[in-house]
Amino acid sequence: MIYNCGMGQMEKESKKRTRKANLQKAILATIFTLGGLSVALIAPKMTKVLSMIEPEFMKSKYKKYTFNKSFSRLKNSGLIVFKKTEKGNFAHLTAKGEVKLRQLELNDYTTKKPKYWDKKWRILAFDIKEERKSMRNKIRHTLRRIGFVRLQDSVWVYPYDCEDLIMLLKADFRIGKDLLYIIADSIENDKNLRKTFDLQRYF
């Protein structure tokens, strides 16, 4: 009989990383949405948000310590700054913090499939030079994860509305002029595409 003693620890580490990312995203998103967050309101605001996305964490006796540690880490990483005003001390996102938030949102991005397909294809085409190969690979990885199908090297297709994703990609990778979003009524010989996306019943 073989025992893998490391598996339990691996699961714990995986959950820990997920919780850390969720906490970072919750803090950054809350500050961004409010345009700044009073230090006095940080704890009650974050408690409300995290009780919905990380209920198990909220039961932990270490949550206050984790809050403080997360804020210190975000500040030391240059993602947030604290500014004193007449109304008190406020936390704000830096430009770097806004980029980090978009990356976290992109990692968690999922498209909602409508009940009925509108029979339109969403085509994404981008032209990114070889010296930016790593960025190109990141975009491809993101598109595959969401469910896009590649038609050609830099041409991808998806059957559902994904304009929000395109905005995130353009903002995160700063490729507004290099990325083209097309909505097409038809694609020649799309039988295999319809089969891939389980859309045969529409034709």
The residue among 74, 107, 140 that closes a domain is 107
Q: Which CATH number goes with the domain that contains 17?
A: 1.10.10.10
* Three-state secondary-structure class, residue 84: strand
pTM over 0.85: no
CATH of residue 197's domain is 3.30.70.240
Asked if 21 and 91 sit in the same domain, the reply is: yes
Q: Are residues 100 and 130 in the same domain?
A: no
- Binning pLDDT at 50, 70 and 90, where does residue 47 land? low
- Compute the half-sphere exposure of residue 5: CA atoms within 13 Å on the CB side of its CA: 0
pLDDT at 174: 74
| Cα Rg of the chain, angstroms | 21
Give how far Cα 56 sits from Cα of 5, 34, 75, 97, 107, Å: 24, 26, 25, 26, 22
Integer Cα distance of 99 and 90 in angstroms: 20
Domain boundary among 80, 107, 134: 107
Q: Looking at residue 135, what is its pLDDT? A: 80
**Domain-located, residue 114:** no
User: Is 128 contained in some domain?
Assistant: yes
The mean pLDDT of the chain is 77
Residue 10 pLDDT exceeds 70: no
Count how many domains the chain has. Answer: 2
State how beta strands 155-158 and 121-126 pair: antiparallel
Q: Distance of CA 106 to CAs 81, 87, 126, 140, Å?
A: 23, 34, 18, 13
Higher pLDDT, 180 or 13: 180
Q: Which domain holds residue 164?
A: 121-202
Question: What pLDDT, in 10s, does the model give residues 158-179?
Answer: 999 988 888 877 777 777 788 8
Domain boundary among 107, 137, 152: 107
CA 50, chain centre distance (Å): 17
Per residue in 30-44, pLDDT (tens digit) is 777 777 766 666 656
Asked if residue 111 lies in contact with residue 146, where contact means CB atoms within 8 angstroms, the answer is yes
Does the pLDDT of residue 121 top 60, yes or no?
yes
Q: What is the pLDDT of residue 28?
A: 80
Q: What is the mean pLDDT of residues 74-80?
A: 88
Q: How far is CA 136 from the centre of its chain?
A: 17
